[in-house]
Amino acid sequence: MRCAIYARVSTGLDSQKDSLESQVSFFENHIKEKGWELVDVYADEGITGTSTAQREELKRLMRDAERGRFDVVLIKALSRLSRDTSDSLNLVRTLNSCNVKLYSSREGEIKDELQLTVISAVNQRQSEDTSYNVSWGIAVKSRNGIFHGTPPFGYDKVKPGKLVPNVTHTHTIQLIFDLYLNKGMGVQAIANYLNDELGVLPSRKNTKKWYDSSIRLILANRHYVGDLVQGRSKVDSKDKIHLQKKGYKKWHKIDENDWIVIPNQHEPLITREQFEAVQEKMKQKAVRVFRGRGKKSLFARVAFCADCGAGMNYKNDRHSYVCSTYQKNGSKNCSSHIFKHDTLKHVVLSNLKDLINNSLNMQSLVDATIQRAGIKKNTAVKELEKVKHEISKLDKELVQLTRKWTSDDIDKEMFNACCGAVKNERQLLEERTARLQTEIAQEHDTESRVSAFKAELMKFAALDVSNEEILRDMIHKMINRVEVHKDGSIEISYNFQNPLKQGA
Whether 136 is covered by a domain: the verdict is no
Q: Strands 37-45, 2-9: parallel, antiparallel or unpaired by DSSP?
A: parallel
Same domain for 198 and 274? yes
Q: Which of 211, 76, 114 is nearest to 153 (CA)?
A: 211
- Which pLDDT does position 503 carry in this prediction? 43
Contacts of the segment 171-179: beta carbons below 8 A, 24+ positions apart: 172/198, 172/200, 173/218, 173/224, 173/269, 173/270, 174/269, 174/270, 176/215, 176/218, 176/219, 177/219, 177/224, 177/270, 177/274, 177/275, 177/278
Same domain for 28 and 167? no
- The CA distance from 245 to 144, in Å, is 36
- Which pLDDT does position 18 carry in this prediction? 57
Same domain for 103 and 165? no
Whether 253 is covered by a domain: the verdict is no
pLDDT tens digit at each of 504 positions of the chain: 999 999 888 765 545 555 788 888 888 999 999 999 999 999 888 777 677 777 889 999 999 999 999 999 999 888 888 888 888 888 999 999 999 999 988 888 887 888 888 888 888 888 778 877 877 887 788 888 888 888 999 999 998 889 999 988 899 999 999 999 988 888 888 888 888 877 767 765 567 788 888 899 999 999 999 999 888 777 666 666 655 566 566 667 788 788 888 899 999 999 999 999 999 988 877 654 544 444 567 888 889 999 888 899 888 888 899 998 888 877 878 898 999 999 998 888 888 777 766 655 545 545 555 565 566 677 878 888 888 888 888 888 888 888 888 788 888 888 888 888 888 888 888 888 888 888 777 766 666 666 666 665 566 666 555 666 667 777 777 788 899 998 889 988 876 554 444 444
Same domain for 77 and 216? no
- Which pLDDT does position 37 carry in this prediction? 93
Of the three residues 254, 288, 322, the one that is the final residue of a domain is: 288
Structural domain total, the chain: 3
The DSSP-derived string for 208-267 is -S--HHHHHHHHT-GGGGT-EEE--EEEETT-HHHHHHHSS-EEEEPPGGGSEEETT-S-
- Which pLDDT does position 504 carry in this prediction? 41
Same domain for 33 and 169? no
Whether 238 is covered by a domain: the verdict is no
- Which pLDDT does position 450 carry in this prediction? 62
Of the three residues 243, 271, 288, the one that is the final residue of a domain is: 288
Whether 95 is covered by a domain: the verdict is yes
Same domain for 327 and 462? yes
- Which pLDDT does position 290 carry in this prediction? 45
Helix, strand, coil: what percent of the chain each, to 5?
A: 55, 15, 30
Q: Which domain holds residue 42?
A: 2-131
CATH number of the CATH domain containing 102: 3.40.50.1390
- Which pLDDT does position 502 carry in this prediction? 44
Same domain for 121 and 160? no
CATH number of the CATH domain containing 202: 3.90.1750.20
Same domain for 57 and 164? no
CATH number of the CATH domain containing 414: 1.10.287.2610
Same domain for 305 and 453? yes
Same domain for 74 and 196? no
- Which pLDDT does position 322 carry in this prediction? 93
- Which pLDDT does position 499 carry in this prediction? 45
Same domain for 30 and 178? no
Whether 481 is covered by a domain: the verdict is yes
Q: Which of 239, 250, 245 is nearest to 51 (CA)?
A: 245
* 118 DSSP β-pair partners: none
Same domain for 380 and 488? yes
